[in-house]
Structure 1
Amino acid sequence: MESILNLLSTKHPLALKHGATVVTETEIGKQEAGLPEELTTSTSFPKKNVGIAPTPTTNKADEVRVLTLADYEDAAYSLALAFWDDHSSRYFIHTPDRAHWTLKQKWDLHLKMMGYIVYAHLLKGLVVSAGEGYGCVALWMPPAQNMDDPLTLLRSGLWRLTYQLSPEGRTRFFTEFLPLLNHTKSSVLGPHKDTHSYYLVYIGTRPRARGNGFARKCIDAVTARADREGRACYLESSNDVNRGIYGRMGFVLQREIFLQRGGGEEGHVRLDIMVREPVGEEGEEGDADSGVDV
């Protein structure tokens, strides 16, 4: 098992993912994600003292709102539904050394991971949502921000993955995935843009909310800000369909990278690296030296 000291040395925004509390999984949510009857019981996570009262969970469909720590349980659950069948999410949990696990065990860990991810972004990033019931949730890392500090790592719960993931899952996540993303982002953007860009780390729309344009709203809300500031936006996508969708939003494919430790059921996982340059008032790209399931 990787030591906590090694974990704390990880230098990548995704190095702090998750921090979930008690999330009640409803029948409707389970049916959305195609989960079987056995997963209808609730899953508990470590309770977090957020120090604020819960906010209403209903969103007006035509609004994008910035989420707070009080929203993290529902936001994490929505993302868990969105990414349950995503290749990049399955890559860390559906490993050969966890072949004996039940589907419920895998779902529970998947939900916890999403909780850690959301909580870390609420602490250090920008989390927005659109649609009723957190229909779409987007996790952004703004310029000059990261989640590499030990306090955020501990508060988010990511450190728990050192024992919650299997040995193969830990290797895939900490040794292969995070370093690859870190190196690729720096290589594609260059040192200055890497620090001064907006990074769309995760965006997901739960099944029942798809087809309503909520993902576009969550992206447009931030790309508009990036345009005003003359900054680029960066993302990785593991969904073939999304390449065209992101392309229509101004993102351009820069590179394809692959997670290569999978075999059999998982196989190699391709990630599309896409960048959107800032756009000026006339629709021209600015000259400023500026993930994912939709």
Structure 2
Amino acid sequence: MESVSSSSVTLVELKRSLVPPRWEDSVRVLGLSECKAAGLSLAHAFADDDLAQYLVDTDDTTDVSAEDKWKIHVDIFTYMVAATCYNGIATTIGPDYEGVALWLPPRKNLDGWWTSFRSGLWRLKFQLSPEGNKRYDDLVSVLHDTKISVLGDRDDEAWYLLYLGTKPGARGKGYAKKLLDDMMQRASHPPRPP
């Protein structure tokens, strides 16, 4: 009688990601080189938001394709992230910018021409329709006036949250809470002047 011997070997390939593991659950500050990725993340987070649609889905854009409206929508958020990187703090969490928060510290804003130029916000004048431009100008004015009205004398001392968004597939994971907690910690312990 013959004896049959069989041995099988299973190879298991362990895949290692190049995405730093701490990005999964740690908040980090964004750099200018990350504006496009963070802007795209916010665009996804606010894709069905009424206020976002208010700027790009106007009566004078009925002939503009959905793809072109999406591009403008993404550009708006990309410019906002860049402007915040110049004058504030943009933070993110998750391996692919699942959550993004844009903050302005006390006595800072995005209104200056230099910030508008460097961030690309000036391009909106040429990208938005005439009605979209009117709505954008009105919106910025209303938000500015409302902030002053609500905060009063404390306006110059307050941190201002411009945007906080998570991608639809990343909701329910606590990313927004971690982004808020991180900035509350930063704001309550500001760096001391030298």
Normalized against structure 1, the TM-score is what? 0.56
How far apart are residue 100 of structure 1 and its match?
Answer: 1.5
How far apart are residue 60 of structure 1 and its match?
Answer: 2.4
How far apart are residue 226 of structure 1 and its match?
Answer: 2.7
Residue 128 of structure 1 is matched in structure 2 by: 91
The alignment status of 1:181 with 2:162, answered yes or no, reads: no
Secondary structure of 1:221's match? helix
> Does the 8 Å contact 1:136/1:205 carry over to 2?
yes
Secondary structure of 1:138's match? strand
How far apart are residue 57 of structure 1 and its match?
Answer: 6.3
The alignment status of 1:148 with 2:111, answered yes or no, reads: yes
The alignment status of 1:200 with 2:161, answered yes or no, reads: yes
Give, in whole Å, the separation in 2 of the partners of 1:152 and 1:219. Answer: 25
Give, in whole Å, the separation in 1 of the partners of 2:166 and 2:173. Answer: 10
Give, in whole Å, the separation in 1 of the partners of 2:70 and 2:98. Answer: 19
How many residues are paired up?
Answer: 172
Residue 224 of structure 1 is matched in structure 2 by: 185
- Indicate how the Cα distance of structure 1 residues 202 and 145 shifts in structure 2: closer, same or farther if over 3 A, else same: same
Normalized against structure 2, the TM-score is what? 0.84
AA paired with 2:172? G
- For structure 2, the residue ranges without an aligned partner over 5 or more in a row are 1-17
Give, in whole Å, the separation in 2 of the partners of 1:208 and 1:125. Answer: 27
Secondary structure of 1:60's match? helix
Note the alpha carbon deviations across 1:167-199, whole angstroms, 9 max, x for none: 11111111x211111111001100x31111010
AA paired with 1:200? L
Secondary structure of 2:186's match? helix
> Does the 8 Å contact 1:57/1:134 carry over to 2?
no
1:79 maps to which of 42, 49, 52: 42
Q: Which has the higher contact order (CA 8 A, sep 6+)?
A: 2
The alignment status of 1:166 with 2:129, answered yes or no, reads: yes
Residue 213 of structure 1 is matched in structure 2 by: 174
Q: Which has the higher strand share?
A: 1
Secondary structure of 1:140's match? strand
AA paired with 1:215? A
How far apart are residue 130 of structure 1 and its match?
Answer: 0.9
Note the alpha carbon deviations across 1:70-120, whole angstroms, 9 max, x for none: 211111111111111111100000001101211101101111111111110
Residue 60 of structure 2 is matched in structure 1 by: 97
Secondary structure of 1:119's match? helix
- Which structure has the bigger radius of gyration? 2
Off by >3 Å, runs of 4+ in structure 1: 56-59
- Indicate how the Cα distance of structure 1 residues 186 and 57 shifts in structure 2: closer, same or farther if over 3 A, else same: farther
AA paired with 1:74? A
Give, in whole Å, the separation in 1 of the partners of 2:19 and 2:96. Answer: 6
How far apart are residue 158 of structure 1 and its match?
Answer: 1.1
* Overall identity of the aligned pairs, in %: 42
AA paired with 2:149? S
Q: Which has the higher helix share?
A: 2
